């Protein structure tokens, strides 16, 4: 935990009116917006006309929030099939901006925003930054990538709308990032958690104590990260690290955000997004059960989505700092990140958790999957601690292998690497290398 005193909760007078609704008023608003969204999608997106007709559901059938379950799912494959603009629900002339995510294979996924969509996005980013503890008049160093990625420009608009000062740094050029953090004295930084680790190392290498900078808050997201990583970053940089969640298909950054005073998982901004949790085969799960997060947008004009399957694994929890809005448990993995090693399922974040629990290890590691004969093998390649002896580092590596065996149930090899030799993050970190 940070050594600074616990941050004060946001003054209620600063909240958006929707953040102060009670649950029943919020649900009434959601239903009205759900009915609008389903009709809008049905009437303007041929894919949804077909999907709803095939499912035998009409917009008039949506009479309660539970009726969302009657709607068909939307998947990334639907976006690929309609590439590039087939799921836009407004004429192109009304689309003010396009974003796209590269994706690992084939066509990128493309999303669009009307002027109204951009305004609501900025409002939700403002809300997210406020929940993180950022206030008007602060300076915010924005190191999310600018361009087709939603991180940079999405956060940018929210910083300006909040009345804070944006430093539009984008990702990469780490030495320059360090220089500007020292010279411009920002109060807050926005980037991926893995990139903040790279920046912390670079500050140290410049001969500066990372705890001595002006930074008080870090708003971190765009990739899975653990509470152990939060503790590590807060300790090394003496700041509050807060979780921001989002995805381009549903909007971009700011679909949900943690409140700095509780740090107990992102509150979903439910006045704009209806969340559900489903099993692998799409069955609704009970409140509190772990499964795949699914979203229906409630206010999007250019790119409405009905029951979009995020592939992110989490569960829904009751609201705390914003009582009416439910939270998600910190996302520890995606369906597609899961490694199946000789029948045991494991997520890279489980290894991150164990690595960070051993003080004599560094947080710099990658996972390599290989095949030995007919067996799959996993090697954790981890940089040894630069200030500790070989023997100490080798003992630490052995402890890690044992803990992975005990806690996850997998036998893995742990290989020590020289300091500074593994790839460093400049954005979303590539942790797993499949060499099979
Ligand atoms: O990563 C949007 C974003 C930008 C979020 C900046 C937060 C900050 P995509 O490139 O479409 O959009 O990737 C979305 O990233 O489905 C999750 O798997 C992952 N992700 C995003 N935020 C978090 C988070 C942006 N806080 C995908 N924790 C999502 C864990 C996250 N995973």
What's the confidence (pLDDT) of residue 1? 47
* The CA-based dihedral angle spanning residues 208, 213, 219, 220, taken in that order and rounded to the nearest 10 degrees: 10
Rounded to an integer, the average pLDDT of 85-94 is 98
Q: Which atom of ligand 1 is nearest to the CA of 334?
A: 18
In angstroms and rounded to an integer, the radius of gyration of the C-alpha atoms of the chain is 22
Q: Is 128 in the pocket of ligand 1 (CB under 6 A)?
A: no
Rounded to an integer, the average pLDDT of 15-39 is 98
User: Is the confidence at residue 429, as pLDDT, over 80?
Assistant: yes
Rounded to an integer, the average pLDDT of 347-359 is 97
Distance 331 CA to ligand 1 centre (A): 10
Residue with the smallest CA separation from ligand 1 atom 21 is 222
List, for residues 182-222, the tens digit of each pLDDT value.
Answer: 999 999 999 999 999 999 999 999 999 999 999 999 999 99
Confidence label for 5 from pLDDT (cuts 50, 70 and 90): low
Confidence label for 103 from pLDDT (cuts 50, 70 and 90): low
Q: Is 158 in the pocket of ligand 1 (CB under 6 A)?
A: no
What's the confidence (pLDDT) of residue 239? 98
Distance 237 CA to ligand 1 centre (A): 23
User: Is the confidence at residue 52, as pLDDT, over 90?
Assistant: yes
Q: Is 246 in the pocket of ligand 1 (CB under 6 A)?
A: yes
Residue with the smallest CA separation from ligand 1 atom 20 is 222
Q: How far is CA 161 from CA 44, 137, 140, 230, 322, in A?
A: 31, 11, 12, 27, 21
What's the confidence (pLDDT) of residue 359? 96
Q: Is 245 in the pocket of ligand 1 (CB under 6 A)?
A: yes
Q: Is 171 in the pocket of ligand 1 (CB under 6 A)?
A: no
pTM of the model as a whole:
0.97
What's the confidence (pLDDT) of residue 102? 78
């Amino acid at each position: 935990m940070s050594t600074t005193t616990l941050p004060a909760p946001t003054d209620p007078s600063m909240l958006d009116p929707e953040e102060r609704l009670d649950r029943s008023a919020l649900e009434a608003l959601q239903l009205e917006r759900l009915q609008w969204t389903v009709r809008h999608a049905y009437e303007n997106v041929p894919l949804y006309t077909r999907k709803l007709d095939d499912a035998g559901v009409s917009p008039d059938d949506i009479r309660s929030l539970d009726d969302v379950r009657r709607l068909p799912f939307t998947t990334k494959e639907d976006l690929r099939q309609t590439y590039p603009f087939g799921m836009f629900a407004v004429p192109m002339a009304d689309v003010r901006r396009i974003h796209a995510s590269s994706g690992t294979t084939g066509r990128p996924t493309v999303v669009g925003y009307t002027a109204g969509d951009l305004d609501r996005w900025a409002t939700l980013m403002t809300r997210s930054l406020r929940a993180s503890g950022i206030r008007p008049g602060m300076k915010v160093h924005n190191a999310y990538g600018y361009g087709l990625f939603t991180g940079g420009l999405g956060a940018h608009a929210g910083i300006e709308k909040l009345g804070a000062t944006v430093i539009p740094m984008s990702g990469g050029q780490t030495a320059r990032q360090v220089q500007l953090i020292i010279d411009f004295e920002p109060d807050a930084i926005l980037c991926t958690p893995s990139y903040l680790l790279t920046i912390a190392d670079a500050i140290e290498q410049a001969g500066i104590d990372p705890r001595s900078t002006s930074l008080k808050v870090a708003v971190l997201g765009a990739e899975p990260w653990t509470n152990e990583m939060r503790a590590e970053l807060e300790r090394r940089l003496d700041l509050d690290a807060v979780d921001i969640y989002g995805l381009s298909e549903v909007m971009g950054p700011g679909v949900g955000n943690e409140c700095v005073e509780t740090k107990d998982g992102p509150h979903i901004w439910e006045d704009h997004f209806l969340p559900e949790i489903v099993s692998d085969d799409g069955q609704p799960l009970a409140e509190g059960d772990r499964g795949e997060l699914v979203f229906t947008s409630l206010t999007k004009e250019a790119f409405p989505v009905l029951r979009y399957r995020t592939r992110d694994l989490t569960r829904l929890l009751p609201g705390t700092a914003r009582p009416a809005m439910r939270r998600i448990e910190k996302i520890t993995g995606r369906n597609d990140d899961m490694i199946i090693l000789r029948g045991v399922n494991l997520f890279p974040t489980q290894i991150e958790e164990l690595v960070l629990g051993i003080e004599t290890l560094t947080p710099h590691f990658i996972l390599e999957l290989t095949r030995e004969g007919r067996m799959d093998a996993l090697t954790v390649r981890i940089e040894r601690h630069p200030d500790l002896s070989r023997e100490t580092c080798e003992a630490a590596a052995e402890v890690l292998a044992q803990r992975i065996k005990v806690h996850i149930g997998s036998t893995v090899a742990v290989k020590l690497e020289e300091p500074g030799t593994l790839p460093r993050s400049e954005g979303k970190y590539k942790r797993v290398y499949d060499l099979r």
